[in-house]
Amino acid sequence: MQYDKELVLDTFEQIRDALIIVEKRCFFAKHADDFCDSEEGQEKLDSICMKLIAIGESLKNIDKLTDKKLLLQYPDTKWKEIKGIRDILSHHYFDLDAVVIFDICNNEIVELLTTVNKIIEDIKIV
């Protein structure tokens, strides 16, 4: 597979950094309502959503750069859903459900971060 490895690596490193930030920002929330019950919670929700949008957009760009072949090598990750959250957040922001974001923070981020770290390692080896 031929693609600009430096550009793809840089993009995955940006995704990794964004995931770490999301992880830190959602740590305070013990329940989805914590995002809605205060101005600080709402600000954290907004910032998490922006990072999720950036992650989804970056993954779409990686698909373009790698002719949709690289992410297929990691089939255990829900790439379509991850990229799709970007569309939902970008186009239907006022329909945002804090429960969904809370669920993503608690059940998806760590696994995605593990996969992204694996991809970064794999790219560096090749």
Angle, CA of 21, 27 and 31, to the nearest 5°? 135
pLDDT of residue 113: 98
Phi, psi of 93 (to 5 degrees): -55, -40
CA–CA separation, 105 vs 112, rounded Å? 10
Ranges under pLDDT 70 in the chain:
93
Confidence (pTM): 0.92
Q: What is the pLDDT of residues 17-27, one digit of tens each?
A: 999 999 999 99
pLDDT of residue 30: 95
Q: What is the pLDDT of residues 54-63, one digit of tens each?
A: 999 999 999 9
